[in-house]
Structure 1
């Protein structure tokens, strides 16, 4: 952001509601949010090839943005609760259910807490939802057949990646960090392509 304000860089990445964004807006250079119209399906397909975690969002607050002057941008879930697949389903279920049932008790307690409403969650995303959380969402009427199908595909994708990782480890990969990463990214891409699944890190 400092580079943007000082005219040293052409663009910066960040949220609309941060201090640096406001600082950039009030600087001599000013601030422009390049719009990402939701109706531009081809553009969004290109965007998600390099940032599969983004989805369309109408921004209504932040530097240079207001309900009267919204901007179509990209967004992703934040904060997000993450658990290992090995976490007991009953434990994840209990925590998720507590967040759903007690929503009214905490929704006004912190900025952004309102976004934790079950109905506002992005369930068709890039990582699978834990079975315990799925159970709680189903009970709350916040889970559809389409979301179930999407989630099952994501679980299958994780299985493909886990198998590819195991195979890569058995292939005597190089010890050099860069060569190791390069080799893994190629093995990863090949495994996903063979399974007919999206890469998520295409350039």
Structure 2
């Protein structure tokens, strides 16, 4: 964390200097100013977007304002209202596209978000387990005490997905409730819990690793097809990932670990955001990768080899056009893209019909009725609702 703070401080200084570049290399194909939302200033996400912004300033004299937000609503509301161009979001971008969890609310509903670029870096996302237990795979978690965090559906869904990989559910473990993310790791150290969901390179698991209990990361074999099918049935945004950065000092580049992850951040715009701007932006992100890949933690994850072309949110049409122009877009990718676009359109159409049909005013009843309408519409088109 101290290293990240130093990097961010350096970027802040660089940002001031960059306000007066010597000259732009060429007439800018982008707006003179752009605004992006991100995670808080202490996050790798914020540092990565600053790194991209510095490249845009250097090459095209584009001033990028990165606006930190403390939660998903504060990051995505400006995107929805058009106050910002892009959001450096997390997995909430998928929940927004699906109209679920906090977006299953009368103020939201499914959102027409489209991916511009994602980052899959050297870390993973999943369950950290106390090292004094004989847990080698998720199946070994049966009967263990698993953290459940109040008000954190993405964490709890990730935990549920890991349990599903091992053929387990919440019924097979002891669910221990905690009021917050950090408290769940205190619980592991104190023996109140045995496992909690996190990023492998976050500070919290380092605290567990330094405790008398120690730390372990269960293995998720990429060859376990049934396990991955169960996991993706719960949370389809997970993907197999070879982790080389994790708390505890055992996992590193020389000793990679078979684990799971999903993109973070997910750079999204709205469906109707200017295609020319998106085309020129993805061109810079792709072609000038070497200019920023080492300038922020995790920025190497923006490389083309790290992109999942078969993920869960459709790409912006201009991104597809660019990938076609450089010859990396296939018929299989297009078929997947078309399916995601149809799904998103169906969800938005179903939402509009639902809210026009005088739904319940009570928040809980509204959410329950919407989720039922959503599931019915998706199942009628042979699409998996995933969320119920």
Question: Does the alignment reach a TM-score above 0.5?
Answer: yes
- Confirm or deny that 1:135 pairs with 2:324: no
Cα drift, residue 158 of structure 1: 0.5
Correspondent of 1:2 among 186, 192, 197: 186
How many residues of Structure 1 are paired with residues of Structure 2 in the alignment?
202
Q: Distance in 2 between matches of 1:24 and 1:67?
A: 21
Q: Distance in 1 between matches of 2:357 and 2:226?
A: 38
Cα drift, residue 142 of structure 1: 3.0
Q: Distance in 1 between matches of 2:286 and 2:207?
A: 37
The 5-angstrom pairing of residues 99-114 of structure 1 reads 99-114=285-300
Query: In structure 2, what is the equivalent of residue 149 of structure 1?
Result: 335
Q: What are the ranges of 5 or more consecutive residues in structure 1 without an aligned counterpart?
A: none
The 5-angstrom pairing of residues 26-41 of structure 1 reads 26-41=210-225
Map Cα deviations across residues 78-112 of structure 1 (whole Å, 9 max, x no partner): 11110100112111111111111111111111121
Q: Distance in 2 between matches of 1:107 and 1:77?
A: 16
- TM-score, normalised relative to structure 2: 0.50
- Confirm or deny that 1:57 pairs with 2:234: no
Q: Distance in 1 between matches of 2:277 and 2:306?
A: 22
- TM-score, normalised relative to structure 1: 0.94
Confirm or deny: 8 A CA contact 1:123 1:147 kept in the other structure: yes
Correspondent of 1:180 among 366, 370, 385: 366
Map Cα deviations across residues 100-146 of structure 1 (whole Å, 9 max, x no partner): 11111111111211111123211211110001111122223332221
Q: Distance in 2 between matches of 1:110 and 1:9?
A: 34
Q: Distance in 2 between matches of 1:104 and 1:144?
A: 25
- Confirm or deny that 1:197 pairs with 2:383: yes
Q: Distance in 1 between matches of 2:264 and 2:326?
A: 21
What is the alpha-carbon root mean square deviation over aligned residues? 1.4
Q: Which has the higher contact order (CA 8 A, sep 6+)?
A: 2
Map Cα deviations across residues 175-198 of structure 1 (whole Å, 9 max, x no partner): 111111111111111111001012
Q: What are the ranges of 5 or more consecutive residues in structure 2 without an aligned counterpart?
A: 1-184
Correspondent of 2:209 among 25, 35, 50: 25
Cα drift, residue 9 of structure 1: 2.3
Q: Distance in 2 between matches of 1:179 and 1:11?
A: 33
